[in-house]
């Protein structure tokens, strides 16, 4: 399988990336591989910095570049009670990795058997036998294998025996000197700071889901018909509030939108689960049962309860105007 896409799934002028599911399906290139390993959740600017370094070192050595990642976050198997929400699902992660220009991504299915595999066995099976690794580049804090006993030191020791070099890189930092990490991006999103998250992601945070039916009140009662996007519960959404977003349809068309992510307190004061509702600007059409991609550009305000429909409609008009302004400002950047 090949993937060729830019950030957020946009077409890329880079060569298509080969995707292999399972190391047992790999054929090691004759000239050897330069490999990096990780969850790569979000494919943020720190990940891109490391992959750029991998590609640069591989080019000087005449090696193919390979990202080894997993079909799910390892924490969902190892510690499911505290597994993080995902910044990208597997489909989007592969699209983003393709945009970095690597030759191949190997997706390793992660299950109980893999979780109990020793670091040494992983190195032999994946790096040595499947990929013919000659260079391995990881973050200096990288850990892997059962009990997280594998690290840069173990990789270096095994590399000396099996013919691959190991480079451990420091974490990329932002202009304030704080390390870029998926954990930090999740925290910013939870706070509603989608602009801060975008700076670390190198793109606007995007979620994907099917448009499903709602209560119909938005169009019939309020005059603002919305698409209710059913985002998987495993994916990280921003803190509840009103946002300026871009909404992408399956045909590739992109529409500015005002998005509410919240519990609709004016009409549903006892609602337990928040809902993502997108009002597309200057659009009239049927969106039901389409796959939507929603990218968060700017937080406009907190979600709150209004005395009645009239007050809510007045505020929605202000929200739409604010969304237009925020999107226009973002386009001008």
- From residue 5, alpha-carbon distances to 18, 73, 199 in Å are 12, 22, 20
- What's the CA gap between 107 and 230, in Å, rounded? 26
Pair (81, 220) in one structural domain:
no
**pLDDT band for position 240 (cuts 50, 70, 90):** very high
* Cβ-contact 271, 264 below 8 angstroms: yes
Give residue 213's pLDDT band: very low, low, confident or very high (50, 70, 90). confident
Per-residue pLDDT band at 175 (split at 50, 70, 90): confident
Boundary-marking domain end, from 169, 189, 219: 169
Q: Taking residues 234-252, report their average pLDDT.
A: 97
Asked if residue 212 and residue 110 are part of one domain, the reply reads no
CATH of the domain at 20: 3.40.50.620
* Chosen domain end from 147, 169, 191: 169
Q: Would the CA dihedral through 118, 122, 123, 128 be positive or negative?
A: positive
Residues 17 and 164 in one domain: yes
Domain membership of residue 197 (yes or no) is: no
Residue 288 has pLDDT above 50, yes or no: yes
Pairing of strands 133-139, 33-37: parallel
pTM of the model: 0.90
DSSP 201-259: HTS--EEEEEEE---SHHHHTSS---EEEE--TTB--PPSEEEEEEEE-TTS-EEEEEE
On whether both 165 and 268 belong to a single domain, the answer is no
Supply the pLDDT for residue 215. Answer: 62
Residues 151 and 21 placed together within one structural domain of the fold: yes
Q: Which residue's structure tokens are 């054929």?
A: 27
Distance CA 239, CA 200 (A): 17
Both 211 and 156 in one domain: the answer is no
CA 132 to CA 138: how far, in whole Å?
A: 17
Phi, psi dihedral angles at 239 (to 5 degrees): -60, 155
Question: E-assigned strands of the chain?
Answer: 2-3, 17-21, 33-37, 64-70, 104-108, 133-139, 165-169, 206-212, 227-230, 241-248, 254-262, 275-280, 291-301
Is position 187 within any domain? no
> pLDDT tens digits, residue range 17-58?
999 999 999 998 889 999 999 999 999 999 999 999 999 999
* 263 backbone φψ class: left, alpha, beta (φ>0; ψ -120 to 50): alpha
Strand order, beta sheet including 104-108: 2-3, 17-21, 104-108, 64-70, 33-37, 133-139, 165-169
pLDDT of 219 over the 70 cut: no
Question: Would 108 be classed as within a structural domain?
Answer: yes
Residue 177, in any domain of the structure? no
Greater pLDDT, 83 or 174? 83
Tens-digit pLDDT profile for residues 64-93: 999 999 999 999 999 999 999 999 999 999
Same-domain check for residues 274 and 224: yes
- Output the six-digit token pair for 333: 């950047």
Q: Which two tokens stand for residue 102?
A: 């690597």
The separation between CA 102 and the C-alpha centre of its own chain, rounded to angstroms, equals 17
String of DSSP letters for 101-124? T-SEEEEE---HHHHTS-HHHHII
Q: Is 264 left (phi over 0), alpha (psi -120 to 50) or beta?
A: left
**C-alpha dist (Å) from residue 125 to 27, 39, 151, 162, 167:** 12, 18, 16, 12, 20
**Whether residue 117 sits in one domain with residue 19:** yes
* Nearest-angstrom CA–CA distance, 307 and 326: 27
Say whether pLDDT at 217 is over 60.
Answer: no
pLDDT tens, 119-158? 999 999 999 999 999 999 999 999 999 999 999 999 999 9
> Looking at the structure, do residues 138 and 219 belong to the same domain, yes or no?
no
Q: Is residue 116 part of a domain?
A: yes
Q: Is residue 45 part of a domain?
A: yes
Domain stops at, among 169, 190, 216: 169
Query: In CATH, what number is assigned to the domain containing residue 275?
Result: 2.40.30.30
Is residue 2 scored above 70 in pLDDT?
A: no
- pLDDT bracket for residue 177 (50, 70, 90): confident
Contacts of 294 (CB under 8 A, 6+ apart): 206, 207, 208, 209, 229, 245, 246, 247, 248, 257, 259, 276, 278
In-domain check, residue 174: no
Domain total in the chain: 2
**In this structure, is residue 42 part of a structural domain?**
yes
Pair 214, 164 in one domain:
no
% the chain with pLDDT above 70: 91
Q: How confident is the model at residue 220 (pLDDT cuts 50, 70, 90)?
A: low
State whether 38 and 154 are in the same domain: yes
Percent of the chain surpassing pLDDT 90: 80
Token reading at 291:
């796959």
For 306, the domain range is 205-332
Residue with tokens 């998926």: 182
Co-location of 235 and 127 in the same domain: no
State the pLDDT confidence band at 7, using cuts at 50, 70 and 90: very low
Q: Is the pLDDT reported for residue 265 higher than 80?
A: no
């Amino acid at each position: 399988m090949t993937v060729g896409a830019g950030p957020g799934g946009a077409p890329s002028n880079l060569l298509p990336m080969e995707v292999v599911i399972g190391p047992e399906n790999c054929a090691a290139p004759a000239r050897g591989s330069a490999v990096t390993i990780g969850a790569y959740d979000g494919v943020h600017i720190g990940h891109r910095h490391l992959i750029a370094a991998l590609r640069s070192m591989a080019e000087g050595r005449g090696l193919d570049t390979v990202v080894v990642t997993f079909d799910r976050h390892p924490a969902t198997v190892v510690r499911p009670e505290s597994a993080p929400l995902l910044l990208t699902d597997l489909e989007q992660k592969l699209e983003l990795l393709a945009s970095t220009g690597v030759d191949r991504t190997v997706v390793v299915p992660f299950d109980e058997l893999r979780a109990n595999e020793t670091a040494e066995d992983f190195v032999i099976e994946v790096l040595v036998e499947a990929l013919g690794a000659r260079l391995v580049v990881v973050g200096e804090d990288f850990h892997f294998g059962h009990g997280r006993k594998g690290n840069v030191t173990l990789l270096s020791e095994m590399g000396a025996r099996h013919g691959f070099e190991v480079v451990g890189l420091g974490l990329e930092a932002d202009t304030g000197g704080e390390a870029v990490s998926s954990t930090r991006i999740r925290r910013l999103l939870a706070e509603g700071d989608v602009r801060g998250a975008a700076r670390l992601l190198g793109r606007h945070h995007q979620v994907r889901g099917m448009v499903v039916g709602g209560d119909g009140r938005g169009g019939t009662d309020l005059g603002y018909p919305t698409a209710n996007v059913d985002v998987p519960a495993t994916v990280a959404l921003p803190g509840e509030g009103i946002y300026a977003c871009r909404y992408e349809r399956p045909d590739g068309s992109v529409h500015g939108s005002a998005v509410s992510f919240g519990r609709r307190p004016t009409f549903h004061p006892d609602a337990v689960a928040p809902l993502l509702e997108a009002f597309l600007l200057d659009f009239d059409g049927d969106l039901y049962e389409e796959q939507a991609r929603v990218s968060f550009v700017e937080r406009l305000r907190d979600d709150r309860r209004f005395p009645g429909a009239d007050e809510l409609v007045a505020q929605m008009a202000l929200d739409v105007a604010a969304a237009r302004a925020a999107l226009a400002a973002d386009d001008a950047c």
